[in-house]
Amino acid sequence: MKKNLIIVFTGVIMLLSTINAMAQVNGLQQAENMVIKKGMIKVTILYPGGEGKKFDMDYYTKKHFPLLKTLFGDALKATAIDKGIAGGAPGAPVPFVAVGYLYFDTLADFQNGMKTNGAKIRADVPNYTDIQPVIQISEVLQ
């Protein structure tokens, strides 16, 4: 009787152990997915502010970025969007109303994606802004 109890107890502990191990692997995989790795290519699209300029942040976040993700596919490793709120000095105007970031493993991944999809991407821009963006290609150092 006591022996049976121990066997059941062992079974429960083994099950818990397995669940823990699975959760751990899952947690670490999530962590790895989130890492912006040193050496990655970061394409930054900066939208300078200005009198009478329009920028539809709702469209940018909900329509344009999902479109970019669909078009670039797996080559696009991560994205980010900032909303400009202020300049550095007190009362200074905000330099950029919005900044978008696209992360790729290599510059070729971005360039090949643009060759295929550049026209479609550019065609969507008037749907959210009349600002001519500044485009910066960077390497992630840290």
Assess 8 for contact with a second copy (CB under 8 A): no
**Scanning residues 104 to 133, which ones bind a second copy (CB under 8 A)?**
107, 133
Assess 88 for contact with a second copy (CB under 8 A): yes
Whether 29 and 97 have beta carbons less than 8 Å apart is answered as no
Question: Chain-centre distance of CA 61, in angstroms?
Answer: 11
Bridge pairing between strands 96-104 and 41-48 = antiparallel
Q: At its nearest, how many Å lie between a second copy and the CB of residue 135?
A: 3
**Scanning residues 21 to 40, which ones bind a second copy (CB under 8 A)?**
21, 23-24, 27-28, 30-31, 34-36
Length of the chain: 142
Which residue carries 């912006």 as its tokens? Answer: 36
Residue closer to a second copy, measured from CB, 123 or 141: 141
* Cα 122 to Cα 46, 72, 93, 116, 132, distances in angstroms: 15, 14, 27, 12, 11
Q: Which residues bind a second copy (CB under 8 A)?
A: 2-3, 6-7, 9-10, 13-14, 16-17, 20-21, 23-24, 27-28, 30-31, 34-36, 42-46, 57, 61, 65, 79-89, 92, 94-96, 99, 107, 133-142
